[in-house]
Structure 1
Amino acid sequence: MFAPERAADARDTGRRIGRLRWLMLLLALALAAACAALEVALPWPLIGQALATLALVNLALPRLPAWGLSDEAALRVGLLADVLVLTELLAFSGGAANPLASLYLPPVLFAALLSPGGFAWLLALLAMAAYGLLFEWHLDWPLNGGNAAYAFNLHLAGMWMSFALSALLIAGFVSWLARQLRRQGDALAEARETQLRDEQLLAVGMQAAGAAHSLSTPLNTLTLLVDELLSERADDAALAQDLRLMQSQLSSCRTTLARLKHGSEPSPGALPLFAALAERLEGWRSLRPDVRLDWFAPGGDDPMVRLDAAFWPALFNLVNNAAEAGGGEVAVSASLCDGRLRLDIVNRQGWLSEAQLARAGLAPLESAKPAGMGLGMMLSHATLARLGGTLSLDNRAEGGVHARIELPLAQEESK
């Protein structure tokens, strides 16, 4: 069945067939001019009326949806007009003996491809009936004094022309339709992959919500124990320093769990881009004192932008992966070009297989980290895709892995 829900595709198909119809009308006019130049005595007023009728129908077809008819109905009206006008032209120029009678096939083929079902069968039966009636009801083709050789050569030329037009129409339109089907198949496959990824993310989100609830009590207990130990062993400087570090780490964990429970961080509004990145990375450094992080930002003005709260977990998933796989060294560089933020995250160790590179972000990667679940890359990929950005991975020739984030940003004027 023709898919009426795909209105844009239906209109595009109708426009293409309309252009083909104009092309056929031009060819018909050229053929009529050639016959007139050869002084073939045809009923020119009747032929002109048939061609003018088809031209008027083709002009009216794009306006039919505005008058209440669907795109499918407009397509059917056009194909029906093609068969009727072709029957009229053949009836005025030799009937069934006219070799152009094989041009009944393209409209029937288009109906079978674009509107399969009852209408296609109806149009096929109509074309068969019209072709049959042309054996009896038609005007004879005027012969050149009964010259049989002239008539036969003219018939052969007409057969070649009819075959060439049918072949071109069928090959061109069917090729276009095959490309459309291939494009829709690719889109469907991509939609399936997206649905699978969303289902995985939903499962991860449910598990994360359960984990946040379960971790609240032990974190509160640990915080109370650290506070008590800190008050009791304040005289031990080395232990007190370790306890204060543990206290800050627990506080960071509680803050993260609170954000997780509430779904996201509150939007801070417009921020200076590179300063905000530097501040967040500095905070990450305090949580990972064992990792050397090199930060590179371009000089000049710092643009004011709004960063979605979901961007930060996606970024730090990648930074954590790079730090844990890169031997404790990671470099992050930023640039802004044509309204797009580019972040390059590089480590000097590690390597991804071709399969991992191909599937990065589509499914959990096989993680080589001691406790790695391989979900970070998938979560980052999904988050950046939702924000309109991209994530790409490649192995560096000198060793290590390079992750690149590209994200469109709307800049705001500084106040």
Structure 2
Amino acid sequence: MAQKLIISTELSPRHQLQQFANFRWGLIGFEATAAVAGWLFDYPVSSWPLIWLLLLTHISTNVIPRLFAGAQSHLARIYAISCCLDVLLLGCLLLLSGGVSNGLVALLLLPVAVAAVMLPGRVCYIIAMLAIMAYSLLLLIGDLTIPDVDQLLQQAEHAQHNHMHSSDDGSAFNQHMLQMWWAFALSAILISWFINAQANLIRLKSRKISELQQQQVRHEQMLALATFAANAAHDLASPIQTMNLLCDEIAVDNSSPALTDLRLQLNRCQQIVQQLRQDAGSLRRDDAPQPLLVLTEQHIDRWLNSRPDIGLAIDKTIAAADFTLPDSQGFGAALINILDNAADASVANGCAELKVAIALQDSGFSISIYDFGEGLSDNRLAELGKLPQQSEQGLGIGQFLANVSIERLGGTVRRRNLDNGTLTRIDIPRPKVEHN
């Protein structure tokens, strides 16, 4: 269910392109309907052939973008060019059919609104300025519809009669045209600003919702894994105790070195189960959090006791005061998991060594763990820690749990290949309440 929710919050580029094409088909259909109505009712235009040619051109511009549906990296350019073409072709159609006196001049604002939704701020403002320029040219050029001879004669007869009033009427008309220009320009700018701001806010909220849903899925997976681990620890306690008793009975009549090794391994298993119980008990006790540097040193010492075969070189850089974490157990478990995986990688490559660099700065705390393994493939490096994965050494859940635990603390886990191994870096920012 969570995966479906994540998918539903994301709008695919192909879906966006389809909606954009549908909008343009609607605009072209409205233009064609207006042209047919004007032709049937003998609306005065400069040239009907040019109008039909412009309509065919507009139709062709909406077919070509579909050919680039697979090129998702160029969709923003396709949207920008298409909006520019819409403004240009609409301006030409209006120029041939009355200019600003045409009641459909408000259609110039439609590409501006679409650009504000689909494109970044600067580009949508460029589209708005282009629409304002088109409107300005329509005002300057005027009506290109050519009057017939009778209209010219009537204008000549009334020219002298209207001469005395022409000055006042012309001034009022110019003022009216200027007000129309200001109204259109302000409308275009306000539409671009408001719609673009709201679209950016919606995209930001959608992205955050998607991230929260992904975190919820990972936390649910972590909870399920923790439940399985608790059940496994409970189920292992009795068999381990039984095997210890059997070893004691066998040791009476047999002193084989293999039996000694078996006893050591059983003791190791018993210690792990006991440590798990102690960690769970500390969570129930809600102990006071410890400073992060002290906590790190304690868990490294604890890890070294369980892995005495690993040589560890530690480099410390202390340039600020220590700080505490709200979930010290989660951090400690994540650190031990990462150290175990790094040690296994080094041992698999014939080098039982690790290098750890600890840095405490004003900005936060970081641990860099260098192993001397064979490195990771690019695909493995990109997927590691995102979901539980199969691994040769175990179930492959350690890195996933480590990533989730660190991210719950506001930190990050990054990995990259080096010439002689892999670097795993843990960064935990200093809490704001403690930041000076």
TM over 0.5: yes
Pair 1:304–1:178, CA change in 2 (3 A): closer
Query: After superposition, where does 1:8-407 map in structure 2 within 5 Å?
Result: 147-228=168-249, 242=261, 245-246=264-265, 248-259=267-278, 262=281, 264=283, 266=285, 269=288, 271=290, 273-298=292-317, 303=322, 305=324, 308-327=328-347, 328-338=352-362, 340-367=364-391, 370-396=392-418, 398-407=419-428
Q: How far apart, CA to CA, are the structure 2 residues paired with 1:267 and 1:382?
A: 21
Residue 144 of structure 1, CA deviation: 8.2
Check whether the contact 1:226–1:246 (CA below 8 A) recurs between aligned residues: no
Alpha-carbon distance between aligned partners in 1 of 2:323 and 2:196, rounded to the nearest angstrom? 49
The alpha-carbon distance between structure 1 residues 303 and 206, as it changes in their structure 2 partners (threshold 3 A), is closer
Q: CA deviation at 1:276?
A: 4.4
- Asked if structure 1 preserves the Cα contact closer than 8 Å seen for 2:290 and 2:328, the reply is no
The letter for the 1-side match of 2:201 is Q
Bigger shift: residues 301-310 or 279-288: 301-310
1:265 and 1:309 in contact (8 A); partners too:
no
Deviations 1:330-384 (A, max 9, x none): 22221211162211111122333333343443312453xx233221121111111
In structure 2, distance between residues paired with 1:363 and 1:247 = 31
Letter in 2 for 1:372: G
Higher helix share: 2
Backbone CA RMSD of aligned residues: 4.0
SS in 2 for 1:309: helix
Distance 1:192 1:221, change over 3 A: same
Give structure 1 stretches of 5+ with no counterpart. 1-96, 114-142
Residue 363 of structure 1: SS of its match in structure 2?
coil
Q: Unaligned 5+ residue runs, structure 2? A: 1-100, 118-163
- Superposition deviation, residue 386 in structure 1: 1.5
Residue pair 1:326, 1:349 contacting (<8 A) in 2 also: yes
- C-alpha distance 247-268 of structure 1, shift in aligned 2 (>3 A): farther
Instruction: Give CA-to-partner distance per residue, 1:303-323, whole Å, 9 cap, x none.
Output: 574661221111111111111
- The residue matched to 1:152 in structure 2 has which SS? helix
Distance in 2 of aligned mates of 1:285 and 1:222: 26
- Go from structure 1 to structure 2 and tell me whether the alpha carbon gap of 1:383 and 1:204 turns closer, same or farther (over 3 Å shift): same
Contact 1:388/1:408 (8 A) holds in 2: yes
Q: Deviations over 1:178-220 (max 9, x none)?
A: 1112112211221221122123223212322321222111111
TM-score, with length taken from structure 1? 0.56
Assess if the C-alpha contact under 8 Å between 1:356 and 1:365 holds in 2: no
* Matched-pair contact (CA < 8 Å) for 1:343–1:406: yes
Amino acid aligned to 1:388: G
Question: Structure 1 residues 169 and 220 mapped into 2: Cα distance closer, same or farther (>3 Å)?
Answer: same
The equivalent of 2:34 in structure 1 is none
TM-score by length of 2: 0.53
Q: CA deviation at 1:409?
A: 5.5
Query: CA, structure 1 residues 313+196, in 2 after alignment: closer, same or farther (shift >3 Å)?
Result: same
> 2:305 is matched by which residue type in structure 1?
S
CA contact (8 A) 2:299 2:336 kept: no
* CA–CA distance in structure 2, aligned partners of residues 298 and 312 of structure 1: 20
